[in-house]
Amino acid sequence: MARVEYREMQCKSVLNRVRGMPFPWSINPYRGCVHSCHYCYARGTHTYLDLNTGDDFSGIIFAKVNAPQVLRAELSRRSWRREKVSVGSATDPYQPAEGRFRLTRAILEALHDHSTPAGIVTKGTLILRDRDLLAAMAGRAGCTVCISIPTVDPAVWRATEPGTPPPAQRLRVLEQLVAAGIHAGVLAAPILPGISNAPEQLEAMVRAAANHGARFLWANLLHLNPSIREHYLGFLEAEYPNLVSLHTRLYPGAYASRAAATHLGAQVAALKERHGLVDHRNPIERPTQLKMAFSA
């Protein structure tokens, strides 16, 4: 991977009001992500900064260095109702930048101090550093950790998520978080048509999650956001040229057909039953909490 450029930025607000999602608020300590997942819907956010969705997204990372202080001021307002906050809905809060800036740790400390429930989505193994804090949050206002593992197929992982830790490492982190009493499971999204949705691939993913103690598993098909469509189809042209026509048929818009989504849901449900993976609901979660293609 080419050298990454880190740019510090100041923010005026940290809590982002979310509409039409299972959580009302989100926080993103960083913009851009070195994990470089080709399907990542957040790639489009770099265009707001006149940067591109390709190399710029994974090579120019913005750190909101004053985010913890701004957040504490926001959480101290009398109007704050301690609603659930999703940390890392646009880019991974535990990408390598966190080792340098420690913004995610400071943000979680603020949420904990203000008794605010949180959900985290990550592919980063650095989250294990914070298991003491996550366990404390779980015992107070509540905390859910979603380890993003869309596939355990080594070839697919290398092609689609070139900057991420191997799935086996993420599974070991999951196991250790669960052992620490943290409500942690697997977000198997996005499942990529023709690439990671073969029956044997899905079974391997569900089996691995069950064997590592996942408290839940949700899966969903690729969401081909218009802002990343050109990038993703370009990736397919380079790596899986025989699948370009399939995707253009399946995705006339951002979503595949309801029938395709229903079929995947039935497959995954049957596999979870076969491997004894029962979804243990956190009391603060809604049933649909993680049924979306977070892919930072």
* Distance (Å, whole) CA 64 – CA 224: 27
- 279 lies in some domain: no
Q: Which domain holds residue 204?
A: 5-274
Tens of pLDDT, residue by residue over 47-100, are 878 898 899 999 999 999 999 999 999 999 999 999 999 999 889 999 999 999
- 225 lies in some domain: yes
Within the chain, strands assigned E span 5-9, 16-17, 25-27, 30-31, 60-64, 85-87, 118-122, 143-148, 183-191, 217-221
Number of domains the chain contains: 1
* Distance (Å, whole) CA 144 – CA 113: 17
- 18 lies in some domain: yes
Helix axes 103-113, 131-138, angle to 10 degrees: 20
Tens of pLDDT, residue by residue over 4-27, are 999 999 999 999 998 877 789 999
Tens of pLDDT, residue by residue over 193-230, are 999 999 999 999 999 999 999 999 999 999 999 989 99
- 292 lies in some domain: no
Measuring CA to CA, which residue among 37, 32, 12, 28 is closest to residue 86?
Answer: 28
Q: What is the pTM of this model?
A: 0.93
Q: Which residue has the tokens 């504490």?
A: 72
- 283 lies in some domain: no
- 33 lies in some domain: yes
- 280 lies in some domain: no
Alpha helices in 51-147 (DSSP H): 55-59, 67-75, 97-101, 103-113, 131-138
- 211 lies in some domain: yes
Structure-block tokens of residue 130: 């914070």
CA distances from 280 to 50, 70, 161, 185 (A): 43, 34, 28, 9
Strand bridging mode 217-221 / 16-17: unpaired
CATH number of the domain bearing residue 157? 3.20.20.70
